[in-house]
Amino acid sequence: MKKLKIATLFFLTLLIVPLIAACSSTAQPYNSKEKIGPQINYTVTGIDAGAGIMASTQNALKDYGLEKKNWQLQTSSTAAMTSTLDKAIKDKRPIVITGWQPHWMFTKFPIKFLKDPKNVYGKEESIHTIVRQGLKSDMPEAYTILDRFHWNPTQMSAVMLKVNNGMDPQKAAKQWIKANPDRVNEWTKGVKKVHGKSIKMTYVAWDSEIASTNVVAQVLRDQGYKVTIQAMEQQPMWASVATKAADAQVSAWLPKTSGLFYKDYKGKFVDLGANLHGAKVGLAVPKYMTNINSIDDLKNK
């Protein structure tokens, strides 16, 4: 019995020691005098595999010659990424993340976008509203509201922040609608009320899309619609509108981030144009990584 315990302990030690060693190589504070790659095991901390920013980052690793140097993109989730970022910043450790705006990560953490001289991520993006074909004639009231729906990054961030602080998204949407009657009135002015007609929206559970989808859904409810919203991966979301299984989505980041899906399903949906201007996507690092300012610096510094 005792022997068994000692043996177990011995093997556990064998397992744990290299684990600790592996961790400690990334647990050091950022050192601007050493190359950045080895300090973070050549890893970019990413989010869910289906996100456009993940595809763009794979392209960036190729185009900037980072893939050849064994840089890799780690898949996780927005929640896991922001929690890893939070811990890294508390210890002043180096980290490179996939970052985008609007998002509370840029208000909550001292981070900056890396310059993208090869323009892999594109400059500014807009978020578009995409509806199914035939919606205009089937549900003209909803179509008008969806067509008019637009807001700005500050307004979207306000809803996101409430949800990030733990509020239920539908409640956050209701509060925002109540506080912004003028903006909402721009979308609904003169539109006839309906009585319990069903409409379905699909979305991906990214913070920004949780905010926008819940606000639009609530405005449509206030108009008299019976609205269901369903979260799913990005590809099925596009397919749902293309096949008319869903009526609308407000989650198309263009021209680049959702660009592949836009191209794949072109002709099978109606693009109602931008509902938000001034979005941005790229790689980001904490501001204390003062000598890392461009994606090129990941290779050279």
Binding site for ligand PBE (CB under 6 A): 47, 51-53, 100, 206, 208, 253, 257-258, 281
Closer residue to ligand PBE, CB minimum distance, 206 or 225 = 206
Closer residue to ligand PBE, CB minimum distance, 51 or 61 = 51
Q: Are 253 and 54 in contact (CB under 8 A)?
A: no
Closer residue to ligand PBE, CB minimum distance, 122 or 224 = 122
Cα→Cα distances 299→53, 62, 143, 175, 291, Å: 20, 12, 48, 46, 12
Please state, in angstroms and rounded to a whole number, the distance separating the CA atoms of residues 129 and 131. Answer: 7
From the CB of 51, what's the least distance to ligand PBE, in Å?
4
From the CB of 103, what's the least distance to ligand PBE, in Å?
7
From the CB of 215, what's the least distance to ligand PBE, in Å?
15
From the CB of 101, what's the least distance to ligand PBE, in Å?
9
From the CB of 129, what's the least distance to ligand PBE, in Å?
14
Closer residue to ligand PBE, CB minimum distance, 40 or 281 = 281
From the CB of 173, what's the least distance to ligand PBE, in Å?
18
Cα→Cα distances 90→41, 72, 226, 294, Å: 19, 24, 45, 23
Cα→Cα distances 278→103, 154, 273, 274, 281, Å: 12, 10, 14, 10, 10
From the CB of 203, what's the least distance to ligand PBE, in Å?
10
Please state, in angstroms and rounded to a whole number, the distance separating the CA atoms of residues 135 and 249. Answer: 12
Q: Which helix (H) or strand (E) holds 200?
A: strand 198-203
Closer residue to ligand PBE, CB minimum distance, 53 or 242 = 53
Residues 6+ apart with CB under 8 A from 265: 238, 239, 241, 242
From the CB of 52, what's the least distance to ligand PBE, in Å?
3
Q: Are 109 and 89 in contact (CB under 8 A)?
A: yes
Closer residue to ligand PBE, CB minimum distance, 176 or 253 = 253
Closer residue to ligand PBE, CB minimum distance, 108 or 299 = 108
Please state, in angstroms and rounded to a whole number, the distance separating the CA atoms of residues 273 and 220. Answer: 19
Q: Are 57 and 46 in contact (CB under 8 A)?
A: yes
Backbone angles phi, psi at 281, to 5 degrees: -135, 145
> Residue type for 221, please?
R
Closer residue to ligand PBE, CB minimum distance, 206 or 269 = 206
Cα→Cα distances 230→14, 15, 249, Å: 47, 43, 10
